Structure 1
Amino acid sequence: MTHVDDLAGELDRLLAAADAELAALYPGDRGVRQPVHTVYVPADRFDAGTVREWAEQAKTALGETPKDLSEALDLPTDLGAELHRRVRAKLDREPIEDLRIDFEDGYGIRPDEHEDAAAIDAARALAKTVSDGTATPYHGLRIKSLEAPSRRRGLRTLDLFVRELTPAGALTDSFVITLPKVTSVEQVEAMLLVLTTIEQAHDLPAGSLRFEIQVETPQAILGPDGSALIARMIRAGGDRVTGLHYGTYDYSASLGVAAAYQSMDHPVADHAKDVMQLAAAGTGVFVSDGSTNVLPIGEREAVHAAWRLHFSLVRRSLARGIYQGWDMHPAQLPTRYAATYLFYREGLDTAGARLRAYVSGGNSGYLDEPATAAALAGYVLRGLECGAVDPAEVDQLIGVDTAGLAKLARRPVRS
């Protein structure tokens, strides 16, 4: 054994703890699809037909021809027609990717007997969609926060909801809970106790319930000691935490931003989301942007103005590496998918050429390293998963199938 081998062995011993911690805390891609949005529906407005109703309303807003979409977004005729066709097909096939039944701000404070009834009814309706195959790919509920005034109500609603879903066999890997207004690491740790207790009470496998942390308080971004508490929250939550969701209006208001200036693109929003992205990088935890409260309703001019705003905000989030956001109205679905599809399609040829050259050892004009190739493959894979890109296009442009693309993107295969 050479002195180099001896030195390497010594480093293995010295760095063993650091190596193990790095692998545990930053496992990378979870190997699952990230939805492009989360739709919030107040609990008392949700039933087994809600997704179908949203789809029909979205298609009505979109129209039978590309005219409205093209004019509102100032799209060239051919591009407008292509996006219209793809968005229309998406609304027929999978209008909502992720649905959250809302018992928090969208539902409000109601008498206990009313929220009890709403929790039971909504859970039964969700169970019905799971059993008949019409459930959205991802779904769940947002409970009230674990702050003292709403703590008992949030726990009761979650327990009732899970109690109804469990005997129906409707608790699948697609189910997720959103925990709002998180202000401390201790609340995340408390949520672990909540989920463990509920699993035991309803004979569920340990670890089967997971949750998202909603980042809408300044305390989640900067703790009293100056640390980024959101990073500690992710660590405290472990495998239970699946996502960080930015809350546009609560967060902006908490920082004193006037109502007229509260938006997804305000500097305070960008700062919060930058911290969220840094904290989540490499952990497998998804980051989601928030919503705009400017809804596409009313006269045609007002609808088009709201469409342009939503379209630009979605595009902005995507360019900043945030691939998910919230939608609050059916007429936002056309611009959610139009913006998302345009983002993936406009870079498809270049990404495909670079990946083909990387795979084959050819020359694309770029010196792409493995990390860049992984990012390119991840970009194409996201486009494929949401419907912006077709499998045949991937095969033609890159010369690999979906499994090969996932391997290039460093996405593990789930057993």
Structure 2
Amino acid sequence: MRVTVGHRPITGFAQEYRLQQSRYPMTPAGWQPVHTVYVPADRFSAETVAEWGGQALALAGEHLAEPGQLAEVFGVDADLAGRVHRRLLAKLAAEPVEDVRIDFEDGYGVRPDDEDGHVEQAAAAVVAMHAAGTLPRRWGLRVKSFADADPERSVRTLDGFLTEVVGRVGTLPRGFALTFPKVVMEGYLGQFTAFLEELEKGLGLDPLRFEIQVEAPQTLPFLRAGLAGGRLAAAHFGVFDYTAAIGLPPHEQRLDHPACDHARHVMQTAFAGTGVELSDGSLAASPASAATADVHALWRRHAALVRHSLAHGFHQGWDMHPSHLVSRFAVVYAFHLAAYDGYAARVAAWEQQRQADGVMDEPATIRTLVTALARARSALGEPQP
């Protein structure tokens, strides 16, 4: 029996629907770097990116000279290894770093007598790289945390850095990213945003978006608070602070610990559909020596963590040593190339209203496949259709 309910509009629907669209824009995946490289501010120069690329390329040339070695070290299918190997070497030569942060926080330390000088040094390096066209597609800095009880040092560094760069360039070069670490208290977000508003007015800048670091269990309950005003661009997981905060012993402070999986899944739940990018953390290790066995051991360890992140839906992570660039790009390329043709066939079958290899995909799966293909083309440097 059909029930007629009339034609009166449902009260308040339009307003609620607009609110839904503003909260969950379901923004299509655009370009997102596959990694963020962190360099202590006192060690950063206009040559840092090129030096990292040169070191990574030299390591690959010495310890990964043939596709067969890549297949063995990274567990890549032999038929795929040649394609990955070619892409890896080309990437390390042309664009070894997609995203870099000049670190004034944990990687830098507390240096009250030195920080202002290093701010000027870092700004000068950025200005030189901008002039030379060598700035990575994304670049920026990590300031000190308000949780360390010295917010004035944090904002002084940001103010000095941006004032110097904008003053010398005339504008803020494209790709700038700002990292706000250890957001233990929700109120820190509002305080930081208020300072950004003052800074923008003083320098004539468009609204600055920033990324937060999820480094404490206290942060998980108010993750979405950072969306206020549309300033939150990304959330990065901080493995070592987080695992220390929940009492894990040192040998269990690792990205693939179940406690880290839980935190990352909370991040995914909080930011699903919002357009906020997610990034995993890092491996705090480098090769034990220059011997091939030690370099391969480091690559295998790092590769396993990168694969773990990718399997859990985190397509970006931190790299802390030039050797990590080799394993990062090798695993990312293998991950996307291995699945690309199969994903494309399933989407084509759906569009033609037929099955692909007996698989009956749901619309939600197709949307995921389309997103995965776009992300793969982005990571592989292929043009979008």
Of 34, 41, 44, the residue aligned with 2:42 is: 44
How has the CA–CA distance of structure 1 residues 297 and 87 changed in structure 2, closer, same or farther, with 3 Å as cutoff? Answer: farther
Aligned to 1:184: 185
Give distance in 2, aligned partners of 1:171 and 1:200: 14
Between 297-306 and 175-184, the greater mean CA deviation after superposition: 297-306
Cα deviation, residue 33, structure 1:
1.1
- Given the alignment of the two structures, is residue 304 of structure 1 paired with residue 296 of structure 2, yes or no? yes
Of 223, 230, 234, the residue aligned with 2:226 is: 234
Give distance in 2, aligned partners of 1:14 and 1:203: 39
- Given the alignment of the two structures, is residue 151 of structure 1 paired with residue 151 of structure 2, yes or no? yes
Give distance in 2, aligned partners of 1:198 and 1:5: 54
How has the CA–CA distance of structure 1 residues 293 and 131 changed in structure 2, closer, same or farther, with 3 Å as cutoff? Answer: same
Aligned to 1:134: 134
Give distance in 1, aligned partners of 2:35 and 2:6: 51
- Given the alignment of the two structures, is residue 122 of structure 1 paired with residue 122 of structure 2, yes or no? yes
One-letter amino acid matched to 1:163: T
- Matched ranges for 1:387-402 at <5 A: 387=380, 390-391=382-383, 402=384
Give distance in 2, aligned partners of 1:125 and 1:145: 23
Give distance in 1, aligned partners of 2:124 and 2:76: 43
Question: For the Cα contact (< 8 Å) 2:30–2:378, is it kept in 1?
Answer: no
One-letter amino acid matched to 1:186: G
Aligned to 2:271: 280
- Given the alignment of the two structures, is residue 377 of structure 1 paired with residue 370 of structure 2, yes or no? yes
Question: For the Cα contact (< 8 Å) 1:43–1:103, is it kept in 2?
Answer: yes
Aligned to 1:348: 340
**Size of the alignment, in residue pairs?**
377
Question: For the Cα contact (< 8 Å) 2:303–2:327, is it kept in 1?
Answer: yes
Of 231, 246, 264, the residue aligned with 2:255 is: 264
Identity value in percent: 42
Give distance in 1, aligned partners of 2:253 and 2:376: 30
Of 360, 374, 380, the residue aligned with 1:367 is: 360
Between 241-250 and 79-88, the greater mean CA deviation after superposition: 79-88
Give distance in 2, aligned partners of 1:341 and 1:359: 27
Between 126-135 and 325-334, the greater mean CA deviation after superposition: 126-135
Give distance in 1, aligned partners of 2:324 and 2:330: 10
Q: How high is the TM-score relative to the length of structure 1?
A: 0.86
Larger RCO, structure (CA 8 Å, separation 6 or more): 2
Question: For the Cα contact (< 8 Å) 1:62–1:68, is it kept in 2?
Answer: no
Question: For the Cα contact (< 8 Å) 2:237–2:264, is it kept in 1?
Answer: yes
- Given the alignment of the two structures, is residue 83 of structure 1 paired with residue 84 of structure 2, yes or no? yes
Cα deviation, residue 31, structure 1:
5.7
- Given the alignment of the two structures, is residue 59 of structure 1 paired with residue 57 of structure 2, yes or no? yes
Cα deviation, residue 370, structure 1:
3.2
RMSD: 1.9
Aligned to 1:164: 164
- Segments of structure 2 that go 5 or more residues without pairing to the other structure are none
Q: How high is the TM-score relative to the length of structure 2?
A: 0.93
One-letter amino acid matched to 1:212: E
One-letter amino acid matched to 1:312: A
Aligned to 1:320: 312
Give distance in 2, aligned partners of 1:148 and 1:294: 25
Give distance in 2, aligned partners of 1:20 and 1:352: 33
Q: Give deviations 1:248-303, integer Å, cap 9, x for gaps.
A: 00010011111111000112111111100100100100111101112234132222
Corresponding residue SS for 1:156? helix
Question: For the Cα contact (< 8 Å) 1:214–1:246, is it kept in 2?
Answer: yes
Question: For the Cα contact (< 8 Å) 1:62–1:69, is it kept in 2?
Answer: no
How has the CA–CA distance of structure 1 residues 296 and 378 changed in structure 2, closer, same or farther, with 3 Å as cutoff? Answer: farther
- Segments of structure 1 that go 5 or more residues without pairing to the other structure are 222-227, 392-401, 404-415
Aligned to 1:358: 350
Question: For the Cα contact (< 8 Å) 1:131–1:170, is it kept in 2?
Answer: no
Aligned to 1:93: 94
Cα deviation, residue 131, structure 1:
2.7
Corresponding residue SS for 2:106? coil
Corresponding residue SS for 2:147? coil
Aligned to 1:406: none
Q: Give deviations 1:335-379, integer Å, cap 9, x for gaps.
A: 101111111111111101011122333432333333322211111
Between 83-92 and 23-32, the greater mean CA deviation after superposition: 23-32
Give distance in 1, aligned partners of 2:342 and 2:79: 20
Give distance in 2, aligned partners of 1:30 and 1:198: 31
One-letter amino acid matched to 1:356: A
Give distance in 2, aligned partners of 1:67 and 1:32: 33
Cα deviation, residue 5, structure 1:
5.4
Corresponding residue SS for 2:146? coil
How has the CA–CA distance of structure 1 residues 145 and 220 changed in structure 2, closer, same or farther, with 3 Å as cutoff? Answer: same
Give distance in 2, aligned partners of 1:85 and 1:255: 42
Question: For the Cα contact (< 8 Å) 1:176–1:211, is it kept in 2?
Answer: yes
Cα deviation, residue 67, structure 1:
5.1
Aligned to 1:199: 200
